[in-house]
Amino acid sequence: MTRFTSAKFKPTPRLRGVAKYLFELAIVGASYFVLARGASALGSIYSTPIPIWPPAGLALAAVLLRGIRIWPAVFAAAFATGLPTGMADAISADSILPAFGNAAGSTLEAIVGGYLLHLWSQGGRTFNTPAGVAKFAFIGLAPSSMLGALVAAGTSYLAGQAEWDNLVPLGAVWWLRDAAGTLLVAPAIVLWALADYRGFDSDKVLSSIVGIIATSLVGLVAFSPLFEDSAVRSALAFLAVLPLLWTALRCGERDTATAVLILSCFAVWGALAGSGPFAPASSDDGFLLLVVFMISISVVSLAVSAHVATRRRAEIRLGRHEQILRAMFSQSVMGFAQIDAAGRFTLANNRFCSIIGRSAPELLQMRIQDLIDPDDLPDVTDSIRRAFGNEVCAARRLAPVDAQQCLGDLRSRRCRTASHAGRGGCDRSPLRGRRSQARA
């Protein structure tokens, strides 16, 4: 009987992995389809194209979180969204080509954006640094959204649904709304998905609640159609910077992206309803102004939040390193002390205090001149002056010997020994003979 080794056969994927992959495709595809249908329904209600396309941000977030392998869900959902609702119209060639172009453009947009972010930045962690936020903004505005708009507009022209004269304006509208959806929706989804929920900080939770409530109140008062337009209400739009600064400085990147998304939703709602500072959204000026507003608050707020978070993480790391160094300093078997330009002790470890025979509070009230023999004071003073003149930190190290023996030996001479492995060297100045004898 001939036996074949397992290397001759390709390993078959596990059933559990296939089921998990299919489940991810179903979740992403269903979410994309619901968002796309909702955005299309909202545009049909107000008889105007909406200035933001949320499915673009969802698709990019899915690629950042789950990888490029998620593209079949994006393509299928985008293709189903582009088909007409009627069965007769859905199977016609004139409707299949635009739907296919829309699906191809949306899929390429997400794949290119996710690939470039993984290549040039930190992928899903790109929002952790200001440089990463800048790279995300550039990729979302230039190659990613532009490619999707170019493919979608080109297929619409080939299908006869767009004239050559209207091709550039149509592509610009697709580009701007996809860019707005990418820069607003993708950060919120990625940051919420990658957040650490293990620790509970009541102060941070309270700050987040205050930031979300303040953002909702400002959006409701300044942008929603529930209040009549006036000069005072238009000026209230500048208050949008307050909750964004609060979340950026106090809450973190996740809450900042959430606040930006909430504020943008209120601005879009008011513009579509013909209210607020960006009304009417159907005009070119209002559409462009609203898109620029949403993109600008998103990029700037995320960059500020990432900068604050980076500094906070650096402070935490420095604090941990300081604790480690302090522990090493205090528990060292060598005696270490630090003095300032006047010779006053500013720092001393436990071993140094035991060698000198004085407590740390007592030693910090003294100067090194109080422990030096009078004959050596000029040399020590000159050494301190030259050391601090060259911005060199002066320190005295005492070998780990018995305190009484050390004080007796340092009565009349300066000991210099070279440091080697396992035993540090010392530069020990003679103490005053009378005090040394008394302690010896």
What is the structure's pLDDT at 391?
42
pLDDT at res. 93: 55
Neighbour-count burial of 360, counting CB atoms closer than 10 A to its CB (0-12 exposed, 13-18 middle, 19+ buried):
middle
Residue with tokens 């008011």: 270
Distance (Å, rounded) from C-alpha 109 to C-alpha 104? Answer: 8
Same domain, 165 and 250: no
Last residue of a domain, one of 194, 221, 239: 194
Q: Do residue 135 and residue 207 come from a single domain?
A: no
Q: Are residues 88 and 181 in the same domain?
A: yes
pLDDT of the residue at 85: 65
- How far apart are the C-alpha atoms of 152 and 157, rounded to whole Å? 9
| The domain boundary residue, chosen from 133, 167, 194 | 194
Structure confidence by residue, pLDDT tens digits, 130-153? 999 999 999 999 888 998 888 888
pLDDT of the residue at 282: 55
pLDDT of 60-118, one tens digit each?
999 999 999 999 999 999 998 888 765 445 455 567 888 888 899 999 999 999 999 99
Instruction: Tell me which residues of the chain have a pLDDT lower than 70.
Output: 1-13, 85-94, 280-284, 388-440
Provide the percentage of residues in the chain whose pLDDT is more than 70. Answer: 81
Distance CA 328, CA 349 (A): 10
Domain boundaries, position 38: 15-194
Residue 131 lies in a domain: yes
Q: What is the pTM of this model?
A: 0.74
Q: What's the confidence (pLDDT) of residue 109?
A: 92
Give the residue carrying structure tokens 């739907």: 99
Distance CA(211)–CA(290), nearest Å, equals 22
Q: Which of 397, 385, 398 minimizes the C-alpha distance to 340?
A: 385
Pair (224, 272) in one structural domain: yes
pLDDT value at residue 332 = 81
Phi, psi (degrees; rounded to nearest 5) at 197: -105, 15
Strand order in the sheet with 345-348: 345-348, 335-339, 395-398
How many domains is the chain built from? 3
For the domain that residue 428 is a member of, what is the CATH number?
3.30.450
- The whole-number pLDDT of residue 4 equals 42
